[in-house]
């Protein structure tokens, strides 16, 4: 090892890198149920995960693209037509500026805009609709000259012309002179035809306003010869951002048009509804109410962006497949051969047990034998059942949504959730209730409402249900034949007796009964299915601390219980040394110092602190000495057991320890001081110490009232 | 000297004076100050010089060449030099020849320093003199060439290129040519004057703001030019059809009556006129289309009706367009009168008075889409920026038994006790910077009071306030603070690289925005402000 000269007085600080010794523990988490996993269970589950997640991701991306397309279209049209339809009679030509506020749809929206802009529109014959775009980021425009150079070279380098011209940099126009761009454009437009020059400014809020003012001023002076369009991508929710930030003199040069991409909870609902509650798409993994609730909470509270949705759903998939060995069965069952392997017996046994339990619950006496092939068959049947149940649930939910939206259209309040944009939480809450199996109450309400419908209203509802049932995919809609027939006969009945009140009353009574029965039949809790936990995350909580941890809490927890962070996570719980049996001397230095910190009052006397620290370290030393002497008598292998790991580990190496324990007291004191200073600085760096200077040799605590259950 | 006609009413004197100077013996340095309408003035100067430099209109023996250079566009010395010399000699760089500058017969490089620039000027002068002598048929003509250099936005010169200020004021001396430099600026010469008397005193010319009559005449005189823009001859196609001229004159009179008290800027008035005119003429054209005949016979009555209908909308236009809350084209489209507005009963057509209200509403919508925590953070930072730090304990502190806020008694605004000048309310002074930790603490108090019900339950956290304590230290909170800083809803007042000490921020949302957010979160903001707004 390359030791540094620590006595070098020319240096004020040294970096002593941490070099771990000995083998590193395997830190990849294993399934908690490792013992009943298949031999290649991890690989198989990873493959299943890949299929399930990519299917789900593709669907979500499609939905996002649809959402993007809707907002991109107007923006692109406006950009293309920036120089047509200019209001006549203006005192001077304005510089077109288009702002796009995009809170939720992610960075891909801008890419989409720029690719759409650069595509040649074949539908429109007019040449004037062409656009050439360049992209600028805040870092490109630190000064006016650099900004102008970036703009000009952006266009000139992007659209190289056939004939290269030799240019003498000293005796020709400067490459940050707008006239240079004008000369280029004249020649280029002569060759290629008219085209708008679009400058896309990413993260516009971060551009220096003074530089941008001048750039706007310079460019606005050339609009008659240079068709420049500024496209500002913003995240500021203030629609008058430009008015607040830029002076009127600059604004009066611009023609600002604001656009904003859709944002807010409706995006989340759209994605959830079309991914997990749509009859046209069957996700492999259905999210449970706990995850859904967390997702909604996280989205509305912290991060209202599609990226957040993707992350959460992705983590849910990862977690689902990494814990339960049975999830390998998500899409298909391994072949007979693989399961008859002796190493798979634990897996098969458990599977058979689960199947047997569910059969017993369903009082299904028709139980197959315990052979592997019959287990495979049973599993396949259960998978099919679950899928069907999921589809049924979606149909039921869609019907409820259909009914509710009809009631709202007619001006009724309907159920106590609404899907109008003003009360957007409604639909999200309904999804939650559905998964939570608490939607029964609404079904009853629907029955009551159905009975009260007027004749023409009932007809509309029946027609809509008819359309809905017929719009289902063919493989699903085959099973809904009775419902279709019922619907048709009801409509016929009402049509045939246009005046008879009795017939209508009977019909509406009939409809009410039918719809309640039908929907309740459909929306049954998924958790009653056999082996439901393979396809459904149920009530397992989302590991929220992974994506949004509480820094302070984690920091304190880390200092108070370092072993729980640093120990080998795959080590069996039973084998771990008991937390109780660990005393303060087993902790790393920083933790020892921190514990003593917690015992002190508001002001800490540094010397006392050091003394208390030293006493622990002395204790540690005595313990080591005892171990070393003991190990000399025994085999040298045994002794490292039960020792603190992590930071203390570097010190716990046998050879080092031996020297350590045997070194003389003077040296030991210096060592203790060094360790104290190091731990102290670590705490200082973490922000636990305030240097008040009020009292000599004293430091101030910054953290109080820690619930330190030692 | 033959007088050239001035097309700019109100600028006659200036036109005459400057024109005379240029064509006779111009002072080497003229300083024109126009605090209000420098854009118009620059157009006027340009028209004077264009007339003078056009050969036919100048009977004098001196040929004038001029160049205008804008100190914002030409932000380096090189750009200024290139711009001046290329324009003086009438050289236009083209892409095909590599955007080369004008090269003198001696082929010297003249764009790298002031010295070479002066040589360049002399070379250009020599070149032009020679050119003049060779083209002139009149033998008595001795080939005099005079340069006029107009430096626009000259106040920028003292900021960005102060080293050029003195040489430019003495350019005639330095170049030893018949040359005059005109500075056009919005500020006084005294404000940008180099110290120690390095520059000679200029010939001062101040532009007075235009009278209302002049503005009206000015705007009306634009009409023929506007009507030439559209090639269409149909009155329905060409918005500025020549036969509408008298109506336009009437329109401009009304417009100026309304707007003159607020702005004297010709360009702004023209802008508002451009936005309102299409709507103003529309009812008449609708009628014309319907009846397929000439304009309504009773012209005076029609005018009265138009007056009545549009007078209030002009104020609306002024409100929206002068601060550029929207642009003219969009405003014109949104405020177009409906078909047959004449036949509607009185008061039926209510033009959008609440243009401003509309933007606030729009703002609301975007603000509501912010994540919930961000809204809390914004309110907490608004409070932190408005309340003095010493008041926090009294505003948010809680006793063991009661939780009564002891707010400072609201004093009637006006005189302070000590008889000094009354203290200005904190809200009007502007936001003060605050330490991040303080804002987080206020955030915790807000969350504890207003957010407990809406968050997801956590069974592990049972001690009162423990959950909030967890919440305010989450990564999401800090990242959202940073995100809002990048959105410029918060301003970071300390440098991002500084590690020592907590970062400081300033709130950048207005009181109105904060109220909107508070209302949404059901926080009574006024109770939390040290200096409540009555």
Q: Which of residues 186-225 of A touch B (CB under 8 A)?
A: 186-188, 203, 205-206, 214, 217-218, 221
Tell me how far the alpha carbon of residue B309 is from its chain's centroid: 30
Check pLDDT > 60 for residue A657.
no
Name which of A145, A217, A260 is nearest B76 (Cβ-Cβ).
A145
Check pLDDT > 70 for residue A368.
no
pLDDT value of position A660 = 59
Calpha distance A399→B217 (Å, rounded): 69
On chain A, the residues whose CB falls within 8 A of the CB of B513 are 238
Residue among B512, B444, B522, B491 at smallest CA distance from A236: B491
Which tens digit of pLDDT belongs to each residue from B484-521? 888 888 988 988 777 777 889 999 888 888 888 888 88
Which segments of A130-262 are extended strands (E)?
A: 131-136, 196-201, 228-234, 254-260
CB pair distance less than 8 Å for A551 and B109: no
Mention every residue, 6+ apart, whose C-beta is less than 8 A from residue A273: A427, A431
Taking CA atoms, what residue in A is nearest to B513?
A238
**Beta carbons within 10 angstroms of residue A216's beta carbon:** 20
Following DSSP, what letter does each residue of A517-535 receive, concatenated? HHHHHH---GGGSTTGGGT
pLDDT value of position A651 = 45
Following DSSP, what letter does each residue of A51-86 receive, concatenated? HHHHHHHHHHHHHHHHHHHHHHHHHHHHHHTTTSSP
* Domains of chain A and CATH, by start: 81-263 (3.40.50.300), 551-701 (no CATH)
A27 at B interface, C-beta within 8 A:
no
B92 to chain A nearest CA, in Å?
Answer: 9
B420 to chain A nearest CA, in Å?
Answer: 34
pLDDT value of position B356 = 45
Calpha distance B461→A79 (Å, rounded): 53
Tell me how far the alpha carbon of residue A600 is from its chain's centroid: 42
Calpha distance A611→A607 (Å, rounded): 6
Residue among B308, B305, B238 at smallest CA distance from B278: B238
pLDDT value of position A652 = 46
Range B81-85, long-range pairs (CB < 8 A, 24+ positions): B81/B110, B81/B111, B81/B117, B81/B120, B82/A173, B82/A174, B82/A177, B82/B111, B83/A179, B84/B117, B84/B121, B84/B149, B85/B110, B85/B111, B85/B117, B85/B120, B85/B121, B85/B124
How would you write A470-513 as a 3-class SS string? HHCCHHHHHHHHHHHHHHHHHHHHHHHCCCCHHHHHHHHHHHHH
Task: Classify the C-alpha dihedral A621-A622-A623-A624 as positive or negative.
Answer: positive
Q: State the DSSP H helix or E strand holding residue A696, giving kind and residue range, or none if neither.
A: none
pLDDT range class, residue A504, cuts 50, 70, 90:
confident
pLDDT value of position B231 = 72
CB pair distance less than 8 Å for B325 and A218: no
Q: In what order do the strands lie in the sheet with B504-507?
A: B434-435, B504-507, B490-492
CB pair distance less than 8 Å for A217 and B73: yes
CA distances from A590 to A577, A702, B451 (A): 21, 16, 36
Calpha distance B48→A263 (Å, rounded): 55
B224 at A interface, C-beta within 8 A:
no
Read off the tokens for B337: 């009168």
Please say whether the beta carbons of A548 and B476 come within 8 A. yes
Please, how many CA atoms are within 13 Å of residue A32, restricted to the half-sphere of its CB? 7
Cα–Cα–Cα angle for A276, A280, A281, nearest 5°?
45
DSSP letter at A282?
-
CB pair distance less than 8 Å for B371 and A238: no
On chain B, the residues whose CB falls within 8 A of the CB of A94 are 327
Q: Mutating which of A94, A221, A223, A237 best tests the B interface, going by the most B Cβ atoms within 10 A?
A: A237
Q: Which of residues 114-153 of A touch B (CB under 8 A)?
A: 144-145
Please, how many CA atoms are within 13 Å of residue A702, restricted to the half-sphere of its CB? 13
Name which of A243, A255, A551 is nearest B329 (Cβ-Cβ).
A255
pLDDT value of position B150 = 93
Which tens digit of pLDDT belongs to each residue from A413-441? 777 665 555 555 677 888 888 888 877 77
Name which of A88, A239, A254 is nearest B359 (Cβ-Cβ).
A239
Check pLDDT > 60 for residue A464.
yes
Please say whether the beta carbons of B144 and B62 come within 8 A. yes
User: ipTM of the predicted structure?
Assistant: 0.88
For chain A, percent helix, then strand, then coil, each to nearest 5? 60, 5, 35
Name which of B328, B359, B371 is nearest A240 (Cβ-Cβ).
B359
Taking CA atoms, what residue in A is nearest to B480?
A302
Please say whether the beta carbons of B219 and B256 come within 8 A. yes
Q: What is the pLDDT averaged over residues A511-533?
A: 84
Please say whether the beta carbons of A173 and B85 come within 8 A. no
Q: State the DSSP H helix or E strand holding residue B146, giving kind and residue range, or none if neither.
A: strand B144-152
* Residues of chain B where predicted confidence (pLDDT) is lower than 50: 1-3, 56-58, 353-358, 413-415
DSSP letter at A87?
P
CB pair distance less than 8 Å for B73 and A236: no
What is Dmax (Cα atoms) for chain B? 107
Calpha distance A503→A509 (Å, rounded): 10
Q: What is the pLDDT averaged over residues A273-292?
A: 88
pLDDT value of position A459 = 85
Helices (H) and strands (E) in chain A, counts: 26, 8
Mention every residue, 6+ apart, whose C-beta is less than 8 A from residue A255: A94, A95, A96, A97, B327, B328, B329
Query: Which numeric CATH code is attached to B370-396+426-528?
Result: 1.10.10
pLDDT range class, residue A649, cuts 50, 70, 90:
very low
Q: Which of residues 472-511 of B touch A (CB under 8 A)?
A: 473-476, 478, 480, 483, 486-489, 509
Calpha distance A537→A290 (Å, rounded): 8
On chain B, the residues whose CB falls within 8 A of the CB of A703 are none
Taking CA atoms, what residue in B is nearest to A222?
B73
Cα–Cα–Cα angle for B522, B525, B529, nearest 5°?
160
pLDDT value of position B348 = 57
How many Cβ contacts (< 8 angstroms) between chains A and B? 205
pTM: 0.82
Residue among A197, A192, A247 at smallest CA distance from A219: A197
Higher pLDDT, A360 or A211: A211
Calpha distance B482→A238 (Å, rounded): 17
CA distances from A346 to A30, A184, A337, A342, B228 (A): 17, 75, 15, 8, 91
Which tens digit of pLDDT belongs to each residue from A48-58? 999 999 999 99
B224 to chain A nearest CA, in Å?
Answer: 11
Which residues face A604 on adjacent strands? A699
CB pair distance less than 8 Å for B369 and A171: no
Calpha distance B298→B163 (Å, rounded): 66
Same fold, B12-206 and B370-396+426-528: no
Check pLDDT > 50 for residue A156.
yes
CB pair distance less than 8 Å for B73 and A92: no
**Beta carbons within 10 angstroms of residue A654's beta carbon:** 13
Residue among A549, A527, A548, A522 at smallest CA distance from A538: A527
A478 at B interface, C-beta within 8 A:
no
CA distances from B330 to A82, A527, B240 (A): 13, 56, 19
Name which of B99, B266, B476 is nearest A173 (Cβ-Cβ).
B99
Mention every residue, 6+ apart, whose C-beta is less than 8 A from residue B61: B140, B141, B142, B144
A491 to chain B nearest CA, in Å?
Answer: 43
A79 to chain B nearest CA, in Å?
Answer: 15
pLDDT value of position A417 = 67
Which tens digit of pLDDT belongs to each residue from A326-342? 888 888 887 777 778 77
Mention every residue, 6+ apart, whose C-beta is less than 8 A from residue B161: B71, B75, B76, B77, B80
Residue among A122, A131, A134, A113 at smallest CA distance from A194: A131
Calpha distance B184→B21 (Å, rounded): 16
Average pLDDT in chain A: 81
Average pLDDT in chain B: 81
Domain ranges (residues) in chain B: 12-206, 215-359, 370-396+426-528
CATH class of domain segment(s) B12-206: alpha beta
Please, how many CA atoms are within 13 Å of residue B515, restricted to the half-sphere of its CB? 8
B457 at A interface, C-beta within 8 A:
no
* Residue listed under structure tokens 């823009």: B229
Read off the tokens for A473: 């995919």
CB pair distance less than 8 Å for B476 and A548: yes
């Amino acid at each position: 090892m390359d030791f540094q000269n620590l006595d070098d007085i020319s240096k004020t600080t040294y970096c002593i890198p941490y070099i771990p010794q000995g083998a590193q523990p395997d830190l990849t988490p294993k399934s908690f149920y490792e013992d009943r996993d298949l031999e290649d269970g991890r690989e198989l589950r990873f493959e299943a995960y890949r299929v399930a997640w990519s299917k789900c991701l593709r669907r979500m991306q499609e939905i996002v693209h649809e959402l993007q397309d809707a907002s991109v279209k107007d923006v692109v049209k406006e950009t293309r037509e920036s120089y047509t339809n200019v209001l006549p009679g203006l005192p001077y030509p304005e510089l077109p500026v288009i702002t796009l506020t995009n809170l939720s749809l992610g960075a891909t929206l801008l890419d989409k805009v720029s690719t759409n802009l650069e595509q040649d529109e074949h539908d429109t014959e007019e040449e004037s609709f062409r656009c050439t775009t360049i992209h600028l980021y805040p870092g490109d425009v630190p000064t006016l000259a650099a900004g102008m150079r970036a703009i000009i070279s952006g266009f000139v380098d992007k659209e190289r012309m056939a004939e290269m011209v030799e240019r003498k940099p000293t005796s020709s126009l400067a490459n940050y002179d707008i006239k240079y761009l004008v000369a280029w454009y004249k020649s280029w437009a002569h060759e290629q035809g008219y085209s708008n020059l679009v400058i896309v400014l990413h993260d516009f809020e971060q551009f220096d306003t003074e530089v941008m003012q001048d750039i706007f001023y310079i460019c606005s002076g050339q609009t008659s010869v240079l068709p420049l369009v500024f496209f500002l991508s913003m995240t500021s929710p203030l629609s008058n951002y430009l008015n607040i930030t830029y002076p009127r003199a600059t604004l009066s040069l611009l023609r600002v048009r604001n656009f904003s991409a859709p944002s807010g909870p409706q995006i989340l609902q759209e994605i959830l509804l079309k991914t997990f509650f749509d009859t046209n798409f069957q996700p492999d993994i259905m999210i449970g109410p706990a995850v859904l609730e967390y997702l909604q909470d996280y989205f509305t509270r912290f991060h209202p962006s599609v990226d957040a949705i993707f992350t959460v759903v992705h983590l849910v998939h990862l977690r689902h497949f990494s814990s339960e060995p049975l999830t390998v069965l998500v899409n298909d069952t391994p072949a007979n051969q693989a399961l008859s392997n002796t190493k798979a017996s634990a897996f098969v046994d458990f599977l058979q047990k689960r199947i047997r339990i569910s059969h017993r619950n369903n009082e299904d006496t028709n139980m197959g034998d315990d052979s592997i092939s019959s287990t495979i068959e049973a599993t396949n049947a259960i998978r099919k059942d679950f899928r069907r149940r999921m589809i049924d649930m979606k149909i039921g939910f869609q019907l409820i949504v259909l009914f509710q939206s009809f009631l709202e259209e007619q001006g009724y309040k309907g159920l106590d959730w609404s899907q109008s944009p003003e009360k957007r939480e409604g639909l999200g809450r309904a999804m939650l209730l559905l998964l939570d199996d608490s939607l029964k109450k609404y079904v009853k309400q629907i029955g009551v409402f159905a009975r009260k419908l007027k004749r023409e209203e009932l007809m509309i509802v029946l027609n809509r249900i008819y359309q809905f049932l017929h719009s289902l995919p063919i493989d699903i809609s085959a099973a809904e034949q009775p419902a279709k027939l019922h619907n048709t006969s009801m409509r016929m009945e009402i049509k045939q007796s246009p005046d008879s009140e009795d017939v209508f009353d009977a019909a509406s009574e009939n409809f009410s009964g039918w719809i309640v029965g039908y929907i309740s039949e459909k929306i049954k809790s998924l958790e009653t299915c056999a082996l439901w936990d393979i396809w459904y995350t149920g009530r397992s909580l989302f590991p929220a601390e992974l994506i949004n941890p509480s820094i302070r809490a984690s920091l304190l927890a880390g200092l108070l219980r370092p072993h729980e962070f640093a120990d080998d996570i795959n080590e069996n719980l039973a084998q771990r040394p008991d937390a109780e049996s660990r005393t303060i001397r087993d902790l790393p230095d920083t933790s020892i110092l921190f514990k003593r910190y917690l015992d002190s009052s508001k002001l800490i006397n540094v010397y006392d602190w050091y003394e208390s620290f030293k006493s622990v370290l002395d204790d540690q030393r005595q313990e080591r000495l005892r171990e070393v002497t003991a190990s000399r008598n025994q085999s040298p292998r045994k002794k490292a057991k039960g020792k603190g790991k992590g930071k203390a580990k570097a010190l716990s190496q046998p050879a080092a320890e031996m020297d350590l324990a045997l070194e003389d007291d003077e040296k030991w004191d210096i060592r203790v001081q060094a360790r104290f200073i190091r731990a102290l600085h670590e705490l200082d760096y973490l922000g636990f110490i305030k240097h008040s200077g009020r009292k000599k040799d004293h430091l101030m605590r910054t953290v109080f009232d820690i619930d330190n259950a030692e | 000297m033959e007088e050239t006609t001035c097309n700019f009413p109100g600028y006659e004197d200036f036109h005459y004076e400057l024109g005379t100077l240029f064509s006779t013996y111009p002072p080497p340095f003229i300083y024109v100050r126009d605090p209000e309408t420098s854009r118009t003035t620059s157009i006027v100067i340009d028209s004077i010089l264009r007339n003078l430099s056009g050969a036919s209109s100048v009977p004098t023996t001196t040929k004038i060449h001029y160049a205008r250079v804008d100190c914002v566009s030409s932000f380096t010395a090189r750009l200024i030099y290139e711009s001046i010399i290329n324009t003086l000699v009438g050289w236009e760089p083209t892409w095909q020849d590599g955007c080369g500058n004008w090269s003198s017969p001696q082929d010297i490089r003249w764009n790298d320093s002031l010295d070479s620039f002066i040589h360049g000027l002399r070379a250009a002068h020599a070149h032009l003199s020679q050119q003049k002598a060779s083209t002139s048929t009149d033998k008595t003509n001795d080939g005099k060439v005079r340069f006029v250099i107009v430096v626009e936005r000259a106040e920028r010169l003292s900021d960005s290129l102060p080293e050029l200020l003195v040489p430019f004021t003495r350019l005639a001396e330095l170049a030893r040519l018949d040359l005059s430099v005109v500075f056009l600026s919005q500020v006084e010469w005294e404000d940008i004057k180099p110290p120690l008397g390095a520059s000679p005193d200029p010939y001062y010319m101040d532009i007075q703001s235009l009278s209302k009559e002049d503005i009206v005449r000015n705007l009306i005189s634009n009409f023929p030019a506007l009507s030439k823009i559209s090639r269409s001859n149909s009155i329905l196609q060409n918005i500025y059809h020549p036969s509408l001229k008298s109506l336009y004159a009437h329109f401009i009179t009304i417009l100026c009556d309304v707007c003159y008290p607020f702005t004297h800027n010709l360009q702004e008035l023209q802008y508002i006129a451009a936005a309102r005119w299409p709507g103003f003429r529309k009812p008449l054209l609708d009628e014309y289309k319907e009846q397929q005949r000439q304009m309504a016979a009773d012209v005076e009555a029609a005018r009265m009706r138009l007056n009545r209908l549009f007078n209030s909308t002009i104020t609306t236009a002024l409100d929206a367009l002068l601060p550029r809350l929207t642009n003219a084209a969009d405003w014109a489209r949104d405020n177009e009168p409906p078909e047959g507005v004449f036949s509607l009963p009185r008061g039926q057509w209510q033009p959008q008075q609440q243009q401003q209200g509309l933007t606030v509403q729009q703002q609301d919508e975007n603000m509501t889409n912010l994540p919930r925590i961000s809204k809390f953070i914004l309110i907490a930072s608004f409070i932190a920026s408005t309340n003095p730090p010493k008041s926090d304990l009294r505003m948010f502190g809680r006793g063991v038994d009661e939780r009564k806020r002891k707010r400072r008694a609201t004093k009637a605004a006006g005189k302070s006790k000590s008889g000094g000048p009354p203290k200005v309310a904190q809200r009007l002074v502007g936001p003060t910077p605050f330490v991040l930790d303080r804002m987080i603490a206020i955030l915790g108090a807000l969350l504890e009071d207003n957010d407990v019900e809406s968050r997801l339950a956590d069974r592990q956290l049972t001690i009162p306030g423990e959950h909030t304590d967890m919440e305010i230290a989450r990564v999401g909170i800090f990242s959202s603070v940073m995100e809002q800083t990048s959105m410029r809803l918060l301003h970071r007042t300390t440098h991002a690289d500084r590690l020592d000490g907590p970062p400081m921020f300033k709130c950048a949302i207005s009181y109105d925005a904060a109220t909107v957010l508070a209302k949404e979160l059901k926080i009574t903001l006024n109770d939390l402000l040290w200096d409540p707004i009555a």
